[in-house]
Structure 1
Amino acid sequence: MLSLFQRKRVPPTAGTPPTSAIETPKGSMRPESAASLLATPRRQKLLEHIWQRTSLSRRQFATLYLAPLERYAELVQQFPASENHHHAYPGGMLDHGLEIVAYALKLRQSYLLPAGVTPEAQAAQAEAWTAGTAYAALLHDIGKIAVDLHVEHADGSVWHPWHGPLRKPYRFRYRKEREYRLHSAATGLLYARLLDRDIFDWLSGYPDLWAALLYVLAGQYEHSGTLGELVVQADQASVAQELGGDPSKALAAPKHALQRKLLDGLRYLLKEAFKLNQAGPADGWLTQ
C-alpha cells in the first residue's frame, strides 16, 4: 500500500507542445490541460469536498483521487454530459463527474462496508471501499464519449478516446443514431485510461469490492449491491441539482422505495425484454 502512495507522478511527454501554443481554427475548441480545466472556483470547491470526504493526506489523495480525476478531465475536455438533458453545456461532463464523486462519497459516509463482516474487517477495508465508490461514480458514464460523440481534429482526422487525451484543436457532434445501451458496454474501453495498474492491483485484493465495481462498470446494477445504489443516488442528486431540483431529496431517498423498485423493473424491461429502436417492427423507441 505504501508503494502505491509513494509512486511518483509521470511528467508530461517530452516534446509535446504547450496547449497555449496551439493555434485554434475557427469552429474548433482548444484542448486544455487538467490543471486549466480544474482551475475554476466551482471545480476547485468540488475537489476540496472530495478530499474532505476521504481520510487521506494531501499526498495520498493526489495519488488515489486527484491523478484519476486529472486524467478524466483531460479525456472529457469540454464535452457535455448529454445533448439536451442534464449538464448539456461545454464542460458539463467534467462538472457531472466531479459532482457525482462528491455526492457518492457523502453517501458512502453513512455505510459500513462490506456488510456482514466484523468491524475490524470493515475498518481494514474502509479506504478501499471509499476509493472504489469514487471510481465507480466517476467512470459509470465514461462510455458516452466513445459511442455518443463523433470527434475530429481540425484537419478532419477522427479522434477516439482510446487514443488518449486530445492534443490538437477539435470539434464534435452527437451521433444521430446512437445506442444508449452501449454506454455501459463501452466503459470497458476506457477505465484503464483513468486508473493505473497499481490501483487495479490494490482494489482486486478485496473480492467483494472488486466484484461490485466490475458490475457497476458493466451496467449490471442489479448485481452491484450497495456500491451500485450509491452511484445511482449520487447520479440522481447531480442531475437534480443541474435541473433545478432538490439534490437532498435524492440523497435521502430510501434504498428500497417503491419508486426505486418500479424504476429497476422498468430498466430491466427496457434492457432485456423490449425490442427498442429497431429498424423494422419495434416495441417502442427509447430517446434521451
Structure 2
Amino acid sequence: MSPIEQKAHHDFIMGASMLSFFQRRKTSPTTPSNAAAGFIKPESSDTLLSTPRRRQLIENIWQRTSLPRAQFDTLYVQAFRSYAALVQHLPASENHHHAYHGGMLDHGLEIVAYALKIRQMYLLPIGAPPESQAAQSEAWSAASAYGALVHDLGKIAVDVQVELADGTTWHPWHGPLDQPYRFKYVKGRDYRLHGAASSLIYTNVIPAKALDWLSGFPELWAQLVFAFAGQYEHADILGEIVSQADQASVAQELGGNPGRAMSAPRQSIQRQLAEGLRML
C-alpha cells in the first residue's frame, strides 16, 4: 500500500461520523415536475439546492473549510449554484451509481465533501516550507473542491443527449437550460470521454476570479488543469484526492465500504472495481 493510500485509509477510519452522515441520507430523491409528457421543467439553482440533504451537504462542506460564511459563499456556493443550474435533474449514470433524477447534483456535492475530508490529511504543497503551506492552505482546499465538483461534469456534454421542448438539442457550453427538456443516453458512447469533456465546460461552473487566484500557484495550477481534463495520473496529489473521493462516493451510494475500496492495493479486484464504477 502506498503512503497516499495509507493516509486515505486512515482518513476514512477517522471519518466514521462523516460516513454515517452519508448513510443516513437514503431518502427518496426529489421527483421533478413534468412540463409536458416526457419533459422536465428546469428549476432555479436555489430550488435545486434547497432540499434538506443538499443543504446538509453544503453545511458539511463549509465545516471542512476555515472560511467565514461570506467568503465561503463566494468561493464555493457560487460554484454549486452554477453546477446545479447546468446539471439540473440529470442522473450521474445510466444504470449504476446515482442513477436517478438529480443524481449528478447529489454526487457532485458528495464528492466535494469527501475531497475536503481527504485533503485535511495533507500539508500542501508537499515538501514546501511551513509558511508557504499556511499561505496556500485555502487555495489547495478550493482546488480539491473544484476538481471534485467537475470531475463528472463532462457527462452532460458527451454521455447524454438533451432535447429541448422546441425540438432543438441543448449543449452545456451554451449555458443553463431555459426550457423544458428530456434526455437519453448516447448509444455506443466512449466511457473514457467524459473526463476530458469536463474541460469544455468547467469555466461555466468555476468563478473566473477563483481561477485567476488559483492560477497564481504554479504547482497547484498544473495539477488542477490536469484534473479538469480528467488526466488524474498527471495531477499528482490533487488527482489522488479527487479519485479517492469519487470512489468513496460511488462505494457509499452502492452500499459498499468507501475506506476498504480506497485502501485496497491498486491492482486488487476491489480497487479495479471501484475505478471501473466511476466510468459508468
TM over 0.5: yes
- Where does residue 174 of structure 2 map in the other structure? 163
Asked if the contact 1:152/1:172 (under 8 Å) is kept, the reply is yes
User: Which residue type is aligned with residue 200 of structure 2?
Assistant: L
RMSD value, Cα: 2.1
Indicate the structure (1 or 2) with the bigger Cα radius of gyration: 1
CA distance in 1, matches of 2:132, 2:269: 31
1:237-276 alpha-carbon deviations (Å, 9 max, x no partner)? 100111011224346x27xx34379968xx8xx9xxxxxx
- Candidates 25, 36, 47, aligned match of 1:25: 36
Matched, 1:98 2:109: yes
Displacement of 1:219 in angstroms is 1.9
Asked if the contact 2:75/2:207 (under 8 Å) is kept, the reply is no
- Candidates 247, 259, 283, aligned match of 2:267: 259
- Where does residue 23 of structure 2 map in the other structure? none
Asked if the contact 1:50/1:101 (under 8 Å) is kept, the reply is yes
CA distance in 1, matches of 2:270, 2:101: 33
1:163-206 alpha-carbon deviations (Å, 9 max, x no partner)? 10011110000011211221122111101101122111100000
Gaps of 5+ in 2: 1-32
TM-score normalised per structure 2: 0.82
Q: Percent identity?
A: 61
1:118/1:229 Cα in 2 relative to 1: closer, same or farther (>3 Å)? same
User: Which residue type is aligned with residue 60 of structure 1?
Assistant: Q
Matched, 1:237 2:248: yes
- Candidates 53, 66, 88, aligned match of 2:64: 53
1:49-74 alpha-carbon deviations (Å, 9 max, x no partner)? 10000000110000000000110001
Q: Which SS does the other structure have where 1:162 is aligned?
A: helix
Matched, 1:200 2:211: yes
TM-score normalised per structure 1: 0.80
- Where does residue 140 of structure 1 map in the other structure? 151
Gaps of 5+ in 1: 1-21, 271-286
- Where does residue 220 of structure 1 map in the other structure? 231
Asked if the contact 1:234/1:250 (under 8 Å) is kept, the reply is no
CA distance in 2, matches of 1:212, 1:23: 41
Corresponding residue pairs, total = 244
- Where does residue 84 of structure 1 map in the other structure? 95
- Where does residue 37 of structure 1 map in the other structure? 48
Asked if the contact 2:87/2:104 (under 8 Å) is kept, the reply is yes
Asked if the contact 1:147/1:182 (under 8 Å) is kept, the reply is yes
